[in-house]
A and B are shown apart, each in its own frame.
Chain A
Amino acid sequence: MTLDLSLPTAHDDSEAPGKTSKWLAVAPMAFLSMTVAIPLIIIFVYSFLARPELGAGVVWKFDPTHYVKIFIQDRLDGTRSFDTRYLKVIWNSFYYSGITTVATLVLAIPIAMWIATRDPRRRVLLVFLVTLPFWTSILIRTYAITQLLDEKGVLGKIVSFLGYKGHFQILYTPTATVLGLIYTFLPFMILPIYASAERFDFRYAEAGYDLGARKMTVLFRIVLPQISPGIMAGVALVFIPGLGSFLQPDMLGGGKTNMIANVVANNYGQARNWPFGSALSVLLCVITLVATLLLSVAARKRKAKRV
């Protein structure tokens, strides 16, 4: 293989200013297809295969019944009925992820706007502070939260010091799960909104005020529409990974608020039912895909309206 050091010629893609050769995309594309596409294909294929008699894994025999079993329960008394358990778990995932998205949005917009209105040198420091949690493992941070929320921990001690006599229990409840999710995903909401807000020309806001608009009007009619690409990116970055959360319901929810990832993990582990775990994963993928499509259609419609 020889290295081509010649200058770009007329037929080359990189002729246009700022455009680089399409061959630069080969390595990233290969990497992505190896780490994203191939595992997805494996999961999809597994979800249609049979199980071995003993042990985990799959047998190369077509078996589409796993998808049926998500919705139909063979009860222990011998009857069959519509199975709401997995739908409930999927609903849980959407519910907790939805609450997390709304809460992080409400928290992130003021924070991002505040950072964006500081002078440039302080902005760098503040953005750095937002990314600070990524310096330690999510496992350790979640563990630290259990120490904080425990009734014998920091918060419990403060509450009893303030004179509360009742049973203080936040840890191992759905509330703790949601608090953990909000904490984990907040930076993923702040950063894209900040990226949009930083480019926002605040003279537009001033012009709004000059023309007699009130604060709320300026926020909703001028600021938010301008930073909406950042909001959309933030929503996608929080809501979609939030659906697949595993650690927070397990460690903070006390294992009692199951989300879909916990059920998939049990099927791959103890239940040794890989095809069923795969079928659940595929279903989640499909639902997420539909949700994302709806989100982007909504975003496009809004854009079209504004133009």
Chain B
Amino acid sequence: MKFFTRKVGVAIALAAVASLGLVACSSSSSTTTASSSTAFPTPKGGELNLYNWTNYIDPAQLKAFTAETGIKVNLDTFDSNETLLAKLQAGATGYDVIVPSDYMVAQMVTLGLLEKVDVAGFPNGKNIDPNFLNVYWDKGRQYTAPYMYGTTGIAVNMKDPVASKITSWKDFFAAAKGTSVDVLKDQTEVVSAALRATGVAAADLCTIDKTKYAAAQKLLDTFKPKVINSDGGIERMVKESSMVRMAWNGSVHRMTVDNKNIKYVFPTEGLNFWADNLAIAKGAKNLDNAKIFINWMLNPKQGAVATNFTGYANAVLGSGPFMDPAIKADPAINTTPENAKLATPTPNCPTAARDLYTEVFTSWTSSQ
């Protein structure tokens, strides 16, 4: 009996220690236990209503999804974030998965238009590129999964002695004195590049410190490009009537197809990216199917299929081996990890900072 009690005592003590350990364990990983209590859904057929940008997903990819899961996909398309927002605000129920861009996600979260489903906790949530995990519009990926993204960097023609030496925004703004420079007619891109060139950190691009903007304006005062226009840039670069251009990476990929001298530069001070996201509309009728679809799209192979179709980069780890050789070989699209670190979201500044952008941009355009 004595022996027994001792044994029981030890057992109880052990059990207590073990349970303490368990408690400690479960509190440190409360999210995993919480999500495992509501297991990730398995496909049971039915439908999925996808609302996407025009020509922004491979129809064959949707067929493959239906073949694998038995879920029928109905696709409807929109042409701008504002259209999407207007539809949802007008109470357009019937959409399950929608594809808003970065700043629009932030707005939709504030307006309560998205389902909070903890995408990072999905089985394939681990495939999300860490650079795209803690983005300002969705910290920790609670609402959305990354879809395609693009960067705004510098296209240079390596034949040109000035252009070929460009490695930074500072070089870019100085290059206008020596060669023909082409720049996007885009207030946010031009002013944020000038801020970066004058030493403002990526996290500080919405500063309201006027001295920072004064320095950017001083730099822009000396910057006289040949063209300030968002259209026709591909052609001007291919024909070599412009040797340098501020450009989106997707457009540079198209330039390099026709002119092998052109290269995409990731400026050393960093550059902006825009990103589209897969999100679930509040009150989605097919919530489980929407989760299954987003999780499926985070599969490395599916990320690559999307890139091969749209020509834009994805943020799914391990998608490289499945990409088209031409896209995979293009460092403008298939971003290296070092270059991906340079990319930060296009600043979505509050009114006070935006007005300073407008002030600098207006002064610059009217001094041309």
Chain B residue numbers with a CB within 8 Å of A251 are 229, 231-232
- Whether A271 contacts B239 by the Cβ 8 Å rule is no
What number of A residues sit within 8 Å (CB to CB) of B? 32
The 0/1 profile, CB within 8 Å of B marked 1, for residues 77-88 of chain A is 110000001001
Residue from A54, A151, A255, A257 in contact with B185 in the complex, judged by beta carbons closer than 8 Å? A255
The 0/1 profile, CB within 8 Å of A marked 1, for residues 348-368 of chain B is 101100111111111101101
Q: Is the interface of A mostly helix, strand, loop or mixed?
A: loop
Q: Say whether B115 faces chain A, with CB atoms less than 8 Å apart.
A: no
Task: Tell me how far the C-beta of B231 lies from the nearest C-beta in chain A, rounded to whole angstroms.
Answer: 7
- Whether A88 contacts B366 by the Cβ 8 Å rule is yes
Docked Cα-Cα span, A266 to B184, in Å, equals 13
Docked Cα-Cα span, A271 to B354, in Å, equals 7
A78 to B, closest residue via Cβ: B210
Considering the complex, which residues of chain A in the window 32-71 have a beta carbon less than 8 Å from any beta carbon of chain B?
A: 51-55
Task: Tell me how far the C-beta of A93 lies from the nearest C-beta in chain B, rounded to whole angstroms.
Answer: 13
- Whether A53 contacts B351 by the Cβ 8 Å rule is yes
Chain B residue numbers with a CB within 8 Å of A152 are 239-241
Chain A residue numbers with a CB within 8 Å of B241 are 150-152
- Whether A255 contacts B187 by the Cβ 8 Å rule is no
Task: Tell me how far the C-beta of B367 lies from the nearest C-beta in chain A, rounded to whole angstroms.
Answer: 9
For A77, A172, A267, A273, the residue with the greatest tally of chain B CB atoms inside 10 Å of its CB is A172
Chain B residue numbers with a CB within 8 Å of A53 are 350-351
Residue from A76, A89, A266 in contact with B214 in the complex, judged by beta carbons closer than 8 Å? A76
Docked Cα-Cα span, A142 to B49, in Å, equals 41
Q: Say whether A272 faces chain B, with CB atoms less than 8 Å apart.
A: yes
Task: Tell me how far the C-beta of B183 lies from the nearest C-beta in chain A, rounded to whole angstroms.
Answer: 8
Docked Cα-Cα span, A267 to B351, in Å, equals 13
Q: Say whether B289 faces chain A, with CB atoms less than 8 Å apart.
A: no
- Whether A271 contacts B185 by the Cβ 8 Å rule is no
Docked Cα-Cα span, A126 to B277, in Å, equals 56
The 0/1 profile, CB within 8 Å of B marked 1, for residues 242-268 of chain A is 000000001100111110000100110
Docked Cα-Cα span, A151 to B180, in Å, equals 12
Chain A residue numbers with a CB within 8 Å of B217 are 76
Place the interface of chain B in its size category.
Answer: 35 or more
Docked Cα-Cα span, A256 to B226, in Å, equals 9
Q: Say whether A97 faces chain B, with CB atoms less than 8 Å apart.
A: no
Chain B residue numbers with a CB within 8 Å of A250 are 185, 229
- Whether A85 contacts B210 by the Cβ 8 Å rule is no
Docked Cα-Cα span, A53 to B350, in Å, equals 6
- Whether A76 contacts B356 by the Cβ 8 Å rule is yes
- Whether B350 contacts A54 by the Cβ 8 Å rule is yes
Q: Say whether B149 faces chain A, with CB atoms less than 8 Å apart.
A: no
Residue from A76, A143, A258 in contact with B359 in the complex, judged by beta carbons closer than 8 Å? A76
- Whether A271 contacts B187 by the Cβ 8 Å rule is yes
Docked Cα-Cα span, A256 to B357, in Å, equals 18
Task: Tell me how far the C-beta of B238 lies from the nearest C-beta in chain A, rounded to whole angstroms.
Answer: 10
- Whether B356 contacts A146 by the Cβ 8 Å rule is no
Docked Cα-Cα span, A85 to B357, in Å, equals 15
Q: Say whether B88 faces chain A, with CB atoms less than 8 Å apart.
A: no
Docked Cα-Cα span, A74 to B210, in Å, equals 11
Task: Tell me how far the C-beta of A307 lies from the nearest C-beta in chain B, rounded to whole angstroms.
Answer: 47
Task: Tell me how far the C-beta of B110 lies from the nearest C-beta in chain A, rounded to whole angstroms.
Answer: 8
Chain B residue numbers with a CB within 8 Å of A6 are none
The 0/1 profile, CB within 8 Å of A marked 1, for residues 324-365 of chain B is 000000000000000000000000101100111111111101
Docked Cα-Cα span, A272 to B81, in Å, equals 15
- Whether A85 contacts B362 by the Cβ 8 Å rule is yes
- Whether A146 contacts B232 by the Cβ 8 Å rule is yes
- Whether B107 contacts A55 by the Cβ 8 Å rule is yes
- Whether B213 contacts A76 by the Cβ 8 Å rule is yes
B85 to A, closest residue via Cβ: A55
Q: Say whether B117 faces chain A, with CB atoms less than 8 Å apart.
A: no
Docked Cα-Cα span, A76 to B241, in Å, equals 35
- Whether A271 contacts B358 by the Cβ 8 Å rule is yes
7 additional A-B pairs beyond A54-B107, A256-B368, A272-B354, beta carbons within 8 Å, are A85-B362, A85-B366, A151-B241, A152-B239, A255-B185, A266-B358, A271-B187
| Contact sample, A vs B, 6 pairs, CB 8 Å cutoff | A53-B351, A54-B348, A76-B217, A266-B361, A270-B358, A271-B357
